[in-house]
Chain A
Amino acid sequence: MYEPSAIAGLVVTAVLTAGLYALMSYGLALVYGVMKIINLAHAGTMMLSAFVVLTLNRAFHLDPVPGAVVSAAVFFVLGMALYRLAVRRVIDAPPIASLLLLFGVWLCAQNAAYLIWGSEDQSIVTPYTFSTVDIGDIKIAVSRLIPFGVSLVALGTLTWFLRATDLGKAIRAVSQNALSARLVGVRSERVATIAFGLGSALSAFAGGLLTLLFSFNPDFGGTFQLKSFAIIVLGGLESLPGVALGALVLAVVESFSILIPGWRGSLINLLAFSILVAALVLLPGGIASLLDRRGKTE
Chain B
Amino acid sequence: MRLRQPSVWAPIALVVVLAMFPAAFPDELNYLGLGFLTFIFVTLAVAWNMVGGYAGQVSFGYAAFFGTAAYVTAILWSRYEWEPVLTLPLAGLAAVAVSLIVGLPCFRLLGPYFSIATIGVGEAARVLALNLDQLTGGASGLNLPLSVPSKPWFYWSGLALAVVAVSVSAWMRASRVGLGLFALRMDQDAAESVGVNSTVYKNIAHSSSAFLVGIAAGLYVVYFSYGHPNQVFGFDLSIGMVLMGVIGGVGTLWGPVLGAAIYYPIRQLLLSQSNLVAFNLLVYGGLLIAIILFEPGGLLGLIRRVARR
Contact = CB atoms under 8 A, between A and B. Distances in A.
A100 B278 contact: no
Task: Tell me the dominant secondary structure on chain B's binding face.
Answer: helix
Interface string B265-309: 000000000000011111011111100110010000000000000
B289 A96 contact: no
B119 A105 contact: no
B105 to A, nearest CB: 4
A260 interface: no
B285 A104 contact: yes
B106 interface: yes
Contacts of B121: 273, 277
A260 B183 CA distance: 46
Interface in A104-145: 104-112, 114-115
Interface stretch (B4-12, B86-94, B127-135): B127-135
Interface stretch (A48-56, A170-178, A245-253, A262-270): A262-270
A230 B289 CA distance: 26
Given A96-B115, A226-B120, A103 B288 contact: yes
B113 interface: yes
A279 B110 CA distance: 14
B241 interface: no
A93 B110 CA distance: 15
Nearest to A113: B281
Given A96-B58, A264-B131, A270-B124, A111 B112 contact: no
Interface in A219-255: 222-223, 226, 229-230, 233
B76 interface: no
A95 interface: yes
Interface of A: 37-38, 86, 89-90, 93-97, 99-101, 103-112, 114-115, 222-223, 226, 229-230, 233, 264, 266-267, 269-270, 272-274, 276-277, 280-281, 284, 287-288, 291
A276 B117 contact: yes
Q: Which 9 A-B pairs have the closest CB atoms?
A: A107-B285, A104-B288, A108-B285, A111-B281, A111-B282, A273-B124, A273-B120, A104-B289, A281-B105
B285 A266 contact: no
A101 B289 contact: yes
Given A99-B112, A112-B282, A281 B127 contact: no
A93 B292 CA distance: 10
B108 interface: yes
Nearest to B292: A101
Given A109-B285, A111-B278, A111-B282, 15 more contacts: A86-B293, A96-B58, A96-B112, A100-B292, A101-B289, A104-B287, A108-B281, A114-B278, A277-B106, A277-B117, A281-B106, A281-B108, A284-B109, A288-B110, A291-B110
Given A96-B58, A280-B109, A107 B288 contact: yes
